[in-house]
Amino acid sequence: MEKRQLGKSGLEVSAIGFGCMGLSYAYADRPNKKDAIKVLHAAIERGYTFFDTAEAYGPYVNEEIVGEAVSSHRNSLVIATKFGFKNGSPGEVDSRPENIRAVCEASLKRLRTDRIDLFYQHRIDPSVPIEDVAGTVKDLILAGKVKHFGLSEAGIKNIRKAHKVQPVAALQSEYSLWWREPEDQILPLMEELGIGFVSFSPLGKGFLTGKIPSDTNFSKNDFRSMVPRFKKENLEVNQAFVDLLTKVAKEKNASPAQIALAWILAQKPWIVPIPGTTKIERLNENAGALDIQLAKEDLQKINLAASHLKAEGERYPEQFQKRIDRET
């Protein structure tokens, strides 16, 4: 698989990464540990080198699965994990320096490694100055326990402040054909500062694959059951995005998922999507997006058609929306 550089950080990763969250968290269809490790091993064999996890995905179990799966391949891989929640649970934020240091030590053990390649602040903690967060990660970098500093769902003001203390290698935020808000201010800032951009949910939490009909009833242990964008009436409207991708996919002899990923890859050379999956055939399908060349005319056609579409429904329930940093 071809590689990409995350901005000017020097951090080289596979052009498509692997989002590990769904192996143990958020979705109803979760594999057992043995099958999860099989999927990760298949990803490594396919050429994926960039694996994204977090203490909050479980909590803790996701890092343990990743740690066991990658241990024999560690030196050829880039492992990203995250800090920023209290007690490892995605509820109350906690980016106090002492918690960052404690999370780092615990994550190193679960990941069976001596360094974290990319350490993200999972969400901004309004009670802790971002300069203190960046300074703490800087100390961990100087100690050799962390290689690069990242932010997730951070706003412009905090990105700039953090970057002055410790260069930010990558910002991770949602980005896809049906969530393009980062294009307004975030992506221009990434280009200005030389920061890489990691796109999570590049397939719209599975919706852009075309495999989620509007009458889908998500189980209570599936995060999407709480997401306004996945309510039946909104899915019916949002189907227009899938129809667009399906039309282009037929022209390119590809799948809608591959077109969705190819579109992201075509935006900037320092953008890396991290789709997740629990199925080996899907990780191979996702990697196939790199074989699809969208010409300038193709992109213009997609963008023109998409400009007439509007995504219905918020991408998070209200309690999660509050955690997104929108300070400019």
Which residues are identified as catalytic? 57
Question: Helix 232-252 crosses helix 256-265 at what angle (to 10 degrees)?
Answer: 80
* Cα atoms in the Cβ-side hemisphere of radius 13 Å centred on 123: 22
Closest CA to 182 of 174, 194, 192: 174
DSSP label at 244?
A: H
Q: Distance between CA 97 and CA 206 in Å, rounded?
A: 35
Token pair of 288 as six digits: 């196939």
Token pair of 14 as six digits: 């596979």
DSSP string, 161-182: HHHHHS-EEEEEEE-BTTB-GG
Q: Strands (DSSP E) along the chain, which ranges?
A: 3-5, 12-14, 18-19, 50-52, 78-83, 116-121, 146-152, 168-174, 196-200, 271-273
